[in-house]
Amino acid sequence: MCPLCEDHPECRAHFITSCSATDQVRQKLLQPLLALMSPAGATAAQEDPELLTQVVLDHSKCWELFPTPSEELNSKIEKFTARLCYALHCMRTRKLLAAKKIIIGYIMVYWLITFLSGERTEYHGE
């Protein structure tokens, strides 16, 4: 299960194209990439999560989605996909660390309440 949205199985396509927890980042950074594609290519990529994932991870296999391949276009695509991947990675890391801190906080509160109430349990080993 996706640790961010807890709605879908975790996979690359879900994380890159549809996880609700990363919508804000994805929508901001994906639009410029889609604008570089031909209209038919952009439509195809938006309708097929696996194809869009392929474009983001390695667009060299998807040149038919773009109007005219060139060095300038290749550079722009690389820039947008690198920004998108990095931003998604950063958001995922922040959300997972925040969740971990909450869990650690609950454990510490539980330990403190147990300690203060005098219900200490000691570990004596075996």
pLDDT tens, position by position, 55-92: 899 888 788 888 887 889 888 988 999 999 999 989 88
Question: pTM for the whole thing?
Answer: 0.71
| Measured CA angle at 53 (ends 51, 56), to 5 deg | 115
Alpha helices in the chain (DSSP H): 12-17, 23-36, 39-47, 49-58, 71-116
